[in-house]
């Protein structure tokens, strides 16, 4: 059996939220929040939204929510250009609104359901920005003029699913991800790229959030690809820790090179979040890998509540968020499904799967004390006097019935076994005395 200690999970979540409380900083423009390098001010829109989501996922009231919303409201762009109005920029995007920031803020506002507050940013304008900056192919790049990428398409879809789940853009984004001409085996950073664990897991989780069936044939093989390639010995993929790219944009001078904000990927927690939704999750190979992943996440957590950053020495929010999301998902994982039977025993809860014909006794057997196997030779050695008495008695009775011996001979023959039986009883009583 594979175990996940929810006490350890809960402790890891509490240490992470304590870290976020300590790293909150005020903004010179008003309000406050977080930067993705948690010990470095000033705050940014993306990290602020992600930190608020982390509190929510961990089951805690978001820290400094009023001030964080004020900061996000101040950073939301207002412009006559519909491709600018309503979006957010990162501290490294030169006040150019990008999906990397806008999608996270939309998801945060919709998930926390705080868009109706008078001090909240304008969610409707933000959703409209996301619609307008979708690529004609159905996916998303950093903004409309950028070629679509897997991670950014997933970010945009998760935002729309939270804020406007029936928006037509969701359907086109799902179709973009499922196009096997772009992603024949699993998902990479962009169409035709080498498949990666982090991108495949992110795509699977996003598609399920958008309503896809995990048993769909188009997904089952990709779940198995993920299960085969995930490395539970490391939090990230060696060649996929940071995703960077360069985009050539048209300009008056004929073109400019623009570098979108880099994306940091912690593959293992992203993969674990996807594996919780694997269509074969009750089976041993899936549950074993999931338990190994959770164990790695819990044991690799630093004392300050962060997770190691193999890219540089900074304490990064991009290590905290995916681990918090996974641990919160484990804590809330519904084990019972339709048609299952739940059996309570002392100290255990047993689920009998409704789609299996195994008898209940077989399901309970590993959890119940083992019954001692009969050991006739051991019993005979311990009760040898009774064995001798029974042998003589049965043999004498058979001889008596056959007319071979007389009753007095049977009585005399039993004297020795009776004497041995008395001696054995006396010896056992003395051995039992203290």
CATH at 300: 1.50.10.20
Looking at the fold, whether 135 and 220 belong to one and the same domain comes out as yes
Question: Can you say how many angstroms the Cα of residue 392 is from the centroid of all Cα atoms in its chain?
Answer: 69
Token pair in block for residue 398: 């058979």
Closest CA relative to residue 51, chosen from 38, 67, 66 = 38
Q: Does the residue 1 lie in any domain?
A: no
Looking at the fold, whether 176 and 239 belong to one and the same domain comes out as yes
Above 70 in pLDDT, residue 369?
no
Q: What is the DSSP string of 194-222?
A: PP-HHHHHHHHHHHHHTT--TTSHHHHHH
Looking at the fold, whether 342 and 396 belong to one and the same domain comes out as no
Model confidence over 103-138: pLDDT tens digits?
999 999 999 998 888 899 999 999 999 999 999 999
Can you name the residues that pair with 288 across neighbouring β-strands? none
Element (H, E) at 300: helix 284-300
Residue 133 in 3-state DSSP?
coil
Is the omega angle on the peptide bond into residue 241 within 30 degrees of 0, that is, cis?
A: no
Q: What are phi and psi of 349, to 5 degrees?
A: -120, 125
Q: Does the residue 374 lie in any domain?
A: no
Question: Can you say how many angstroms the Cα of residue 132 is from the centroid of all Cα atoms in its chain?
Answer: 33
394 vs 211, more confident: 211
The distance in angstroms from the start CA to the end CA of the chain is 42
Q: Does the residue 80 lie in any domain?
A: yes
What is the per-residue pLDDT for 233?
A: 94
Looking at the fold, whether 199 and 316 belong to one and the same domain comes out as yes
Model confidence over 145-189: pLDDT tens digits?
999 999 999 999 999 999 999 999 999 999 999 999 999 999 999
Looking at the fold, whether 126 and 185 belong to one and the same domain comes out as yes
Above 80 in pLDDT, residue 395?
no
Closest CA relative to residue 197, chosen from 187, 207, 182 = 187
Looking at the fold, whether 316 and 340 belong to one and the same domain comes out as no
Token pair in block for residue 241: 């820790």
Q: Residues 103-132, buried b or exposed e (16+ Cβ, 10 A)? A: bbbbbbbbbbebbeeeebbbbeebbbbbeb
Question: Can you say how many angstroms the Cα of residue 91 is from the centroid of all Cα atoms in its chain?
Answer: 30
Looking at the fold, whether 397 and 272 belong to one and the same domain comes out as no
Q: Does the residue 263 lie in any domain?
A: yes
Averaged over 316-343, what is the pLDDT?
83
Q: At what angle are helices 123-132 and 99-112 packed, to 10 degrees?
A: 140
DSSP 8-state class, residue 180: T
**Residue 92 neighbours by CB distance under 10 Å:** 15
Residue 264 in 3-state DSSP?
strand
Q: At what angle are helices 284-300 and 217-229 packed, to 10 degrees?
A: 50
Looking at the fold, whether 173 and 216 belong to one and the same domain comes out as yes
The length of the chain in residues reads: 434
Q: Does the residue 112 lie in any domain?
A: yes
Looking at the fold, whether 242 and 318 belong to one and the same domain comes out as yes
pLDDT > 70: percent of the chain: 84
Phi-psi region of 15 (alpha: psi -120 to 50; beta: other; left: phi over 0): alpha
What is the C-alpha to C-alpha distance for residues 81 and 78, in angstroms, rounded to an integer? 9
Contact 319, 250 (CB under 8 A): no
**Residue 402 neighbours by CB distance under 10 Å:** 8
Q: Does the residue 293 lie in any domain?
A: yes
Where does a domain end: 320, 348, 368? 368
Q: Tokens 């069936």 map to which residue?
A: 213
Contact 146, 260 (CB under 8 A): yes
Contact 64, 32 (CB under 8 A): yes
Give the number of domains in the chain.
3
Looking at the fold, whether 140 and 171 belong to one and the same domain comes out as yes
Above 60 in pLDDT, residue 355?
no
Looking at the fold, whether 179 and 235 belong to one and the same domain comes out as yes
What is the per-residue pLDDT for 120?
A: 94
Alpha-carbon torsion (296, 298, 299, 303), positive or negative: positive
Residue 394 lies in domain: 380-432
Element counts in the chain: helices (H) and strands (E):
17, 8
Model confidence over 261-289: pLDDT tens digits?
999 999 999 999 999 999 988 788 898 99
Token pair in block for residue 291: 């338990």
Contact 93, 100 (CB under 8 A): yes
What is the C-alpha to C-alpha distance for residues 32 and 64, in angstroms, rounded to an integer? 8
Model confidence over 36-78: pLDDT tens digits?
999 998 999 999 999 999 999 999 999 999 999 999 999 999 9
What is the per-residue pLDDT for 371?
A: 61
Looking at the fold, whether 305 and 260 belong to one and the same domain comes out as yes
Q: What are phi and psi of 351, to 5 degrees?
A: -105, 125
């Amino acid at each position: 059996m594979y175990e996940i200690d929810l006490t350890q999970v809960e402790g890891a979540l509490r240490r992470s939220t304590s870290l976020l409380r300590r790293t909150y900083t005020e903004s010179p423009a008003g309000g406050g929040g977080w930067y993705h390098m948690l010990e470095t001010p000033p705050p940014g829109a993306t990290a602020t939204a992600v930190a608020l989501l982390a509190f929510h996922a961990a089951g805690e009231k978001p820290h400094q929510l009023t001030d964080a919303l004020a900061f996000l409201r101040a950073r939301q762009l207002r412009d006559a250009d519909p491709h600018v109005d309503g979006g957010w920029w990162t501290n490294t995007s030169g006040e150019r609104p990008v999906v990397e920031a806008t999608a996270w803020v939309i998801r945060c506002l919709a998930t926390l359901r705080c868009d109706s507050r008078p001090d909240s940013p304008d969610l409707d304008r933000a959703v409209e920005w996301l619609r307008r900056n979708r690529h004609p192919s159905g996916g998303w790049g950093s903004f409309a003029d950028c070629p679509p990428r897997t991670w950014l398409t997933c970010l945009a879809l998760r935002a729309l699913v939270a804020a406007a789940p029936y928006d037509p853009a969701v359907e086109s984004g799902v179709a973009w991800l499922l196009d096997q001409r772009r992603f024949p085996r699993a998902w990479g950073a962009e169409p035709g790229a080498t498949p990666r664990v982090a991108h495949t897991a992110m795509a699977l989780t996003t598609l399920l959030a958008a309503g896809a069936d995990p048993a769909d044939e188009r997904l089952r093989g990709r779940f198995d690809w993920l299960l085969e390639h995930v490395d539970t010995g490391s939090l990230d993929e060696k060649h996929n820790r940071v995703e960077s790219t360069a985009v050539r944009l048209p300009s008056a001078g004929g073109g400019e090179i623009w570098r979108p904000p880099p994306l940091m990927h912690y593959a293992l927690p992203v993969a674990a979040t996807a594996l919780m939704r694997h269509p074969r999750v009750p089976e041993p190979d899936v549950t074993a890998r999931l338990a190994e992943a959770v164990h790695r996440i819990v044991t690799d957590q630093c004392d300050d509540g962060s997770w190691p950053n193999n890219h540089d020495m900074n304490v990064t929010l991009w290590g905290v968020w995916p681990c918090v999301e996974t641990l919160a998902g484990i804590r809330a994982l519904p084990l019972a499904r339709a048609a299952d039977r739940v059996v309570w025993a002392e100290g255990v809860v047993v689920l009998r799967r409704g789609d299996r014909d195994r008898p209940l006794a077989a399901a309970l057997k590993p959890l119940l004390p083992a019954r001692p196997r009969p050991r006739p030779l051991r019993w005979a050695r311990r009760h040898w006097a009774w064995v001798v008495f029974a042998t003589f008695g049965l043999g004498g009775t058979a001889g008596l019935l056959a007319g071979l011996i007389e009753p007095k001979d049977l009585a005399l023959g039993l004297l020795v076994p009776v004497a041995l039986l008395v001696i054995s009883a006396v010896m056992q009583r003395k051995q039992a005395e203290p």
